[in-house]
Amino acid sequence: MMELRAENICKSFDGQQVLDHVSFTAGPGITCIMGPSGRGKTTLIRMFLGLEVPDSGRVVGAEGLRWSAVFQEDRLLTSLTAAGNLRFVLGRNYDSRQAGALLEELGLGDVGDKRVRDFSGGMCRRLALARALLSPFDALALDEPLAGLDPENRRRALECIRRNAQGRPVLLVTHDEADQAFLQAAAVWI
């Protein structure tokens, strides 16, 4: 069984401690990382991705995994369409039928040739999520992937995450306890 662990992680920035002896285990399925703004949730996700190093403690089980991620910034190519963004990132893994079905599931089935620069914030967020879910991955890191989504699109996105998470660890940063309840996910409070 694939297992990710944070062991006694501490991290400070400019003398301000953001993570103070954080420990938890995340197995297959969704683990919601929750807490007030500024408590280090994004920093913790970045540590699992190997983009940040703890001052002390360690991340175990993340090395060698194929990660897919949604960051707080959408990181989309605004001059391309939704399909163009997916094709660019996925390369030969791009499957137009699979991409179309996922875009439809996320409420983006009717965007056609519209350029991403003309998308709303919520549409960009859902496209960033589609890109992460379509990428081949062993583990998934989602940093507030539902920010700015209305209730209907939030529900669609949560169902999509749950369906795609099967058998793999997913670290999901959220501020909303209703997300954790809807997903029936484990919660880690920091």
pLDDT digits (tens, 9 = 90+) for 53-93: 999 999 999 999 999 999 999 999 999 999 999 999 999 99
pLDDT at residue 1 above 80? Answer: no
pLDDT at residue 2 above 90? Answer: no
| Domains of the chain as residue ranges with CATH | 4-189 (3.40.50.300)
Q: What is the pTM of this model?
A: 0.95
Cβ-in-10-Å burial (0-12, 13-18, 19+) of 175 comes to middle
Distance CA 21, CA 96 (A): 45
Cα–Cα nearest to 169, from 144, 142, 139, 141: 139
pLDDT digits (tens, 9 = 90+) for 132-163: 999 999 999 999 999 999 999 999 999 999 99
Q: What confidence score (pLDDT) does residue 43 get? A: 98
